[in-house]
Amino acid sequence: MDLAVTAGGTGPGDLDLVYRQWERQHERRANFLGYPVNLDVDYRVFGELLDILWITVGDPSNGYHARLDLQPFEREVVRFLARVAGADPDHTYGYVTSGGSESNLFGVHLGRERLPDAPLYYSAAAHYTVERTARLLRMEPVPVPAMRDGGIDVHALRAACESRRGRGAVVVATVGTTVLGGIDSLAGVLRAVEPAGERHLHVDAALGGLVARFAAHRPAWGFDAGADSVAISGHKLIGTPIPCGVVLAREEWVGTPAEVEYLSAADSTLACSRNALAPALLWYALRRLGQRGLAARVHRCLDTAEYAVERLAAAGFRPWRNPASVTVVFERPPEHLCRRWRLSTTGALAQLIAMPHVTRAMIDRFVADLR
C-alpha cells in the first residue's frame, strides 16, 4: 500500500485506501477483547458536520468572540460528569481533554501549583504516563508498591510520607489500574498521607470510575470521597469515535483563569486550541443514555465480565476479577491466540476487558478457541 505524499498530489482513489483500513477495523472488532475501548459506536449522523472547522479556544465558558465551537454542549458534559463524580456542578471546573493522560497532567499540575515542593506519590500499578507527568513537571516521583488486587499499599504509602514528613503530597489514586483493574482506597490514601501535611488528591478514574460508580459494590472515588481533581475517559465506557476525556477540579483550586488579550477570552486549559467536536460527541452519547442508561450499560458489562470469569474458570485458566471492575485477568494463553483476540498481556497474565461491544457470544467463541 503506497501512502507516500507526493509533490504533485494524487487522484480520487486515495479515499479507497482509508476505507480499506475502516473495513479492517470492523473485521478486528469481532475479536477485540483485551483493551479498554468501546467499539460499539455509530456516529455517522455527524458526517455532515465535517464541512467546517470545529475549534474551542480556552475555557468552555469564556465567551470567545470568534467562536467556531460547541461550548454549551461541553458545559453540559462537564456538569453531568461532575454530578456523577460526586461534585457540585456549580463549584466545579472542567473541560473536555484529548484523553486521560492530558486530564491527569492537568490534575497533577494543579497540585504542583498548590504545593510546589511536594513529591508525586502514585501506585506502581498506576498508568505509565503518571511517572512521565512527574518528569514533565520536575516533581520527585515516589512510586508506591501495589497489593495483589492492584490497589495501592497504604502502609507503604504512609511510610513514604513519613520519610518526607511535612513536605506536602500530590497523590494520584487510580480507579481501574491498567493490568488488574485495581481500585485504590481513597479513605486509606487520605489517612496514609497525613504525615505529609497539605495534600492534593487527583483521581485517575479514566478506566474504572464510571464502572465503579454504578457497580453493586461501589468504592468511593469522587469529590464526595475527598478528591481534588478527577480524570474520566470519553472513549472507554461512554464510547466515541475519537479519543477524548474530561478533567474535573474543585473550582477554588483552579482560581481565576488568565485573560488572553488577543483572544478576549479566559484560559486555564493546557491545550489552548481544542477539538470542539469531541464535546458534542460526548454530549450526544450521554444525552441518549442518561444516567439510568449509563448505569444499565455498566451492569451489562459487569454481567459479561462475570460470565467470562465463569467460562474461563471452567476451561481451567484461573481467572480473577475485582468485583467493581470489568477487567478479567487469567493465565496467558498461547501467543497466536493472544494475537487473534487482541489480548493485552503482562508477564504470565492476559486480560479480557468486558467493554460494551463484548458479548457472551464473543466469550463463547474465545473459550472454544482456548480449548
Integer CA distances (angstroms), 221 to 33, 174, 337, in order: 26, 9, 35
List, in sequence order, the alpha helices (H) in 85-199: 100-114, 128-136, 154-162, 186-192
The catalytic residue positions are: 325
User: Residue 95: helix, strand or coil by DSSP?
Assistant: strand
**Cα–Cα distance for residue pair 283/122, rounded to 1 Å:** 31
CB distance 322 to 180 below 8 Å: yes
Dihedral angle sign, alpha carbons of residues 336, 337, 338, 339: positive
Estimate to the nearest angstrom the gap between the alpha carbon of 337 and the chain centroid.
27
Quick one: cell of 255? 482560581
Q: Cβ–Cβ contacts within 10 Å for residue 291, how many?
A: 13
Dihedral angle sign, alpha carbons of residues 143, 172, 211, 324: positive
Residue 147 CB-half CA count within 13 A: 14
**Cα–Cα distance for residue pair 36/239, rounded to 1 Å:** 10
